[in-house]
Amino acid sequence: MLRFIMIILALSLFSCSDANNPVEPAGALGLGTFEVKIDGNDWNASEGFVFASVSVSDTLSSTVISATRSISTEETETFGIVASSLSTGSSSLEGTYAIDPLLGITVIFTKINSTTSLNYYSTSGTLEITKVTATNISGTFSGICKNSDDENDTITLTNGTFNAAVITDQP
């Protein structure tokens, strides 16, 4: 599972947009918004670096939402929201979920520069998926994330919102 999450996050780091060939927003790779306050400071994804993958069935559903902010040529930050094996009782992902890594619902925040990488994983919080269409998934989130190398280093996420283009929708 962690390997899958890291692959999705890595893909977000290397995705690109072509300003010379604009595309329509609905379903376009990377178009969308992702905003959150980290310890009270605004964080916004870079344009063209917000997307989602969705898989929905009658009993179990999952989604991965990825957003990246390019700070410089040597520094990026990436968010990943993973909600797997959601037992919704319907074919809709819409609803409110407790962020709990043991239940397969987690938020990952990674800071990468030319020499190091810091990874923060959620320990608690709330994820609300407000709308899912064939082209977009949107919602809100908040929570607490802990540095994987230093349990005393935590960040607080508030006022998180996302509206991500769905690049893979599998029934």
**pLDDT at position 88:** 56
- The reported pTM is 0.77
User: What Å distances lie between residue 166 and 15, 39, 120, CA to CA?
Assistant: 15, 29, 25
* 113 in Cβ contact with 75 (< 8 Å): yes
Say whether pLDDT at 21 is over 50: no
> Whole-angstrom Cα distance, residue 123 to residue 33?
24
**pLDDT at position 46:** 87
> Whole-angstrom Cα distance, residue 159 to residue 39?
11
List all residues 6 or more positions away from 18 whose beta carbon is below 8 Å from its beta carbon.
none
Instruction: Note the residue count of the chain.
Output: 171
Average pLDDT value for residue range 148-163: 95
Say whether pLDDT at 6 is over 50: no
Q: pLDDT by residue (tens digit) across 43-97?
A: 999 887 898 888 776 666 778 899 999 888 889 999 999 887 666 555 677 889 8
Which has more confidence, 166 or 155? 155
